[in-house]
Chain A
C-alpha cells in the first residue's frame, strides 16, 4: 500500500473517521492514529494473499419461533451503566 511518499492514511481521513465515531482528536493524536491505521491496513492486506476458495455458506434460513422469553430486569440492564436516571441510561447531550 505505502509504496510511495504519499501517506497511505491522510490526516483528513483520520479526522473524518474520528468525526463519524464522535471522537475528538488533537493534531498530535491525528498523526499517531494515521500511523496506527496504516499499520492495521497493512496487516489486513496480508489477507489479499490468501488464495480464493469456494465459500458457500453452510447455513441458510436460521430462524426462531416468535415466542416471548424473559430478558433482563431494569436493574440488570442498567448495571453496567456509569450513569442512570429514573430507569434510563444517562448520557451527554447529543445532536
Chain B
C-alpha cells in the first residue's frame, strides 16, 4: 500500500497505555507509606522489600486489589477467575530488584470500555486490559540531560507505589479524543476514590500512533487488522497530562504525515515527548517484548477474586450522576456536566441543593465558586474546610441580606485571596444589605448634593437619573438594590 500512500488521505489510529497511581496508604507489596510529602528526604520510605534486598518477600496489598476490582467494574471489564503476577526483567537503576513485578498473560481486568464525548459525539473506547504493577523508583541525571549526565542519583521512595496500567484498543481517531478520554478516566477514578489527580506524577501515558488510508476506516471507525498491521507505529513515551497527550499526538500526526508526503516510510520506533520543546525525539531502541523474559513470580500465589466484583460496591459514576442531576434538580445538560465532573464538586452541590433553591445552588457552585477557584488555580479540595462559610454566604444571598454581586465579587474573592471569614469581610466593607432607612437617607443626600442632575432630570433627561442612582449606590457601598433606588428617586423627584 505504501507506494500510493503519499497520495491518499490519511487517518490517525491511536491507542493509549495509561499508568495511574492508586490511592492506597501503603505500597503494593510492602507496608511502606505511599504518602509522598513535598519536602521529604530521599530514601526515607523504604524497607527490604521495596529496596529489593536479598531474601525479602512481597505480600500483596489487599487495598490495591480492591481498587483494581473497582476500576474493572467501572470500566465494565471482566475480572477473570484467576489472575497472576510476573517478573518483567530489565536492568535499570530505578528497579532495585532488576525486574518489575507486574502482570502479563492473566491481568486482573480484561475487555472493558469507557464512553467519552468529543464535540457532542459519543465514542466508545475499548479497554483491552488493565493490570496491577509496582512503580519504579525515581532517578535524576546529574550534571546534564539524560545523554550528557555525569552520574545518576536514585531515590526509591516511589518504588512499590501501586500502579494500574490501563491499555486501550486502538480506538482513538484524533488527538482530541485521547484528551477527552484521559479527562473522563480521571473523573471516574476520582469518583471511585482510588486516584488523586493532584498528586504529582500520578498519571503517566504512553501512546501508540500510526497513520492508515482514510478510506480504509469504516463509518463506525472500525479498521481491519490487516490495515493496522500494514501501518508502521511509533510509541510515544513520557506524556504526563491530558494536554500533553493531545499536543504530543498532534505533533506526531504532523510529523508522520510529512514523512509520508515526502515518500518516506514512518519508522517503527519509540519516541520521547519533550514537553518543554513541544517535540517528540527518537529514543535509542529499547528492549523488545521477548527481551523482558517475563516469568511467573513464584513468591506471589495466584489471585482468585472474580467474586469480589459482586462484593465490592462502587459509587454512582459521573454519567449516571449527571443524568440524575438533570432529572432531580431540573438542571441544563451543561450545568449538570459541570457539576458532576468532579466528585467533590458534585457532593458540594448536592449538599447545597438540599438547603437552597437548586438553581441558586447551581449558579453558585458551577459559575461563581468554580469560576473564582479556576481563576486562582484552586480546586474544591483546597476549600473543604471552609464550606460552612460558603454556605453562610449563600444563605445571606438566598435571604436577600447580601446582593449576589457583592457576595461573589467582594466576599468570595476576599475569602479566597485573603483567607478572611465572610462575617469579617461583610462587616469591614459594610455590605450588609442597606436597611430601608439608610437607602432613603442616601437618596435624600444624593438629591441635595446634586442639584444640577436633579434639574436635568426634571427637564426630561432620564440619563441624569442613572447618575443619581450611581451616587446612591456609592453611598451605600453597593449594598442597596438598584431597582429600589431607582423607584425611590422617581418618587422623591415626582
Q: Footprint of B on A, CB under 8 Å? A: 20-22, 57-69, 71-74, 77-78, 80, 85-95
Contact yes or no, B44 A74, CB < 8 A? yes
> CA A85 – CA B65 in complex, angstroms?
36
Given contacts A21-B91, A93-B150, contact A74 B139 (CB under 8 A): no
Within 8 Å CB of A64, what residues of B?
A: 31, 59-62
Q: List 21 A-B contacts (CB under 8 A).
A: A20-B90, A22-B91, A61-B303, A62-B59, A63-B59, A64-B61, A64-B62, A68-B32, A69-B32, A69-B47, A71-B32, A71-B45, A72-B51, A74-B41, A77-B46, A88-B154, A89-B153, A90-B154, A91-B152, A92-B151, A94-B141
Given contacts A74-B41, A77-B43, contact A68 B25 (CB under 8 A): yes
**B302 contacts partner chain A, Cβ-Cβ < 8 Å:** yes
Contact yes or no, A72 B47, CB < 8 A? yes
> CA A73 – CA B43 in complex, angstroms?
8
Q: Which residue of B51, B92, B152 is within 8 Å of A77 (Cβ)?
A: B51
Contact yes or no, B91 A20, CB < 8 A? yes
Within 8 Å CB of B64, what residues of A?
A: 66
Q: Which residue of A68, A85, A86, A94 is within 8 Å of B93 (Cβ)?
A: A94
Contact yes or no, A93 B60, CB < 8 A? no
**B232 contacts partner chain A, Cβ-Cβ < 8 Å:** no
Q: Which residue of A57, A59, A66, A80 is within 8 Å of B61 (Cβ)?
A: A66
Q: Which residue of A lies closest to B155 (CB)?
A: A88
Shortest Cβ gap from B133 to chain A (Å): 16
Within 8 Å CB of A74, what residues of B?
A: 41-44
Interface of B is mostly: loop
**B195 contacts partner chain A, Cβ-Cβ < 8 Å:** no
For the side of the interface on B, what is the size category?
A: 35 or more
Shortest Cβ gap from B333 to chain A (Å): 39
| Contacts between the two chains (Cβ within 8 Å), count | 122
> CA A63 – CA B83 in complex, angstroms?
14
Interface of A is mostly: loop
Contact yes or no, B24 A89, CB < 8 A? no
> CA A83 – CA B301 in complex, angstroms?
36
Within 8 Å CB of B155, what residues of A?
A: 87-89
**B421 contacts partner chain A, Cβ-Cβ < 8 Å:** no
Q: Which residue of A lies closest to B43 (CB)?
A: A77
Render B143-155 as a binary contact track against A, CB cut-off 8 A, 1 for contact. 0001101111111
Within 8 Å CB of A87, what residues of B?
A: 41-44, 155
Contact yes or no, B139 A94, CB < 8 A? yes
Within 8 Å CB of B303, what residues of A?
A: 60-61
**B260 contacts partner chain A, Cβ-Cβ < 8 Å:** no
Q: A65-B63, A66-B64, A71-B30 are in contact. List 19 more A-B contacts (CB 8 A).
A: A20-B89, A22-B91, A60-B304, A61-B301, A63-B60, A64-B31, A64-B62, A66-B24, A68-B26, A69-B47, A71-B46, A72-B46, A72-B47, A74-B43, A77-B46, A77-B156, A78-B43, A89-B153, A91-B154
Contact yes or no, A95 B139, CB < 8 A? no
Contact yes or no, B90 A68, CB < 8 A? no
Given contacts A61-B301, A85-B153, contact A66 B25 (CB under 8 A): yes
Given contacts A62-B60, A71-B30, A90-B151, contact A95 B45 (CB under 8 A): no
Contact yes or no, A93 B151, CB < 8 A? yes
**B305 contacts partner chain A, Cβ-Cβ < 8 Å:** yes
Q: Which residue of A lies closest to B96 (CB)?
A: A89
**B278 contacts partner chain A, Cβ-Cβ < 8 Å:** no
Within 8 Å CB of A95, what residues of B?
A: 146-147, 284
Q: Which residue of B26, B43, B287, B291 is within 8 Å of A66 (Cβ)?
A: B26
**B238 contacts partner chain A, Cβ-Cβ < 8 Å:** no
Contact yes or no, B31 A71, CB < 8 A? yes
Shortest Cβ gap from B381 to chain A (Å): 22
Given contacts A60-B301, A63-B65, A78-B43, contact A88 B153 (CB under 8 A): yes
**B33 contacts partner chain A, Cβ-Cβ < 8 Å:** yes
Given contacts A63-B62, A64-B59, A72-B47, contact A89 B301 (CB under 8 A): no
**B221 contacts partner chain A, Cβ-Cβ < 8 Å:** no
**B48 contacts partner chain A, Cβ-Cβ < 8 Å:** yes
Task: Sort A-B residue pairs by CB-CB distance and give the 9 closest, nearest first.
Answer: A71-B47, A66-B63, A69-B31, A88-B153, A59-B301, A63-B62, A89-B154, A87-B42, A77-B43
> CA A57 – CA B303 in complex, angstroms?
11
> CA A64 – CA B25 in complex, angstroms?
12
